[in-house]
Amino acid sequence: MLFFFSSGVLTAAYPVALGRPTWPTPQGDFKVVETRADPIWTVPKSIQREMARQGKEVKTKVAPGPDNPLGGYWIGLSMPALGIHGTTAPRSIYRFRSHGCIRLHPDDAAKLFPMVKVGTPVKIIYEPVLLAHLDDGSIFVEANPDIYGLAPNAIKDLRALADSSHISNMIDWQRVREALERKDGSARDPTMPVATPVLSMSSISPILNLAFRPRVRAVAKDRRKSASCHEIRHALRNARTC
C-alpha cells in the first residue's frame, strides 16, 4: 500500500504493485526528484538485457501512449531508474510483478500525481508482519507472505516486540499463530478479553509512506477502502512493527 500524508494526517491510500522476488523494490528513505505527465520511458540497460535474453525486440526508449509501461504519470525518486508510476497492466496491482518500481492503477496515479511535488520525502518499508496497539487498548496483528524472505522468525520477533512494549499478557498467542498461518493480509484482533492499561503510540509519519506487502485477499472488492479500514491501516503503520 502507498500512504500519502499531508501535515502528518493520512489523506490518501492506494494499492500498488512492486518488484518481483528476483528484482525487489529497494527499501529506504528517498525524495521525489522529478514529476512527468505522459512520460517517455528510457529503458534501463538491465531491462534491455532481459529483453535480449527473452528474444524480444530491444527498445531503448518508449514514447508516451498505450504501449508505455509507465502509463500516464511518472514520479521519479532519488535512486536511478526507481519511481512511482501508472501502468498498462492494472491487473498487476497488489502483486510483485515490476522491475523494482512502484506501480499504481491508472486512476490512482492520476489522483496522486498533482499532490506530489519535487522534494517530497518517500519512505519504502517492507513489513510482512505487523503488530499494533491502539489507543482504545485493542491489539491488531497482520500477516502476509514473506515474498522477499526477510522475516523468517515472525512469531519470535512478535513476542520480542510485545515483551518490549509490555503487552504480551494482553495477547492471545494462539490467534496470532493462526494469523501467521493464514498470511492473508487481514488485520486481526488477538486481544485477550481483559481490561488492561492503554499504551500510547507515536503519530509521527513521513509525508509519503510506502509499506509494501502482497495482497492475497482484499479487505473489500472495491479498491476504495472505507474510512475505518484506513484508520486501522494508519494505526498499523504508525505502531512499532516487526
Catalytic residues: 85, 101
- Neighbouring CB atoms inside 10 A of 84's CB total 28
Cell of 205: 509519519
d(CA 107, CA 50): 29
The answer to whether 180 touches 186, Cβ cutoff 8 Å, is no
Cα separation of 216 and 145, whole Å?
8
51 backbone dihedrals φ, ψ, rounded to 5°: -55, -45
Distance separating alpha carbons of residues 72 and 110, to the nearest angstrom: 8
At 54, list the grid cell.
527473452
> How do beta strands 96-98 and 16-19 pair?
parallel
Distance CA 177, CA 155 (A): 7
* 107/185 Cα distance (integer angstroms): 23
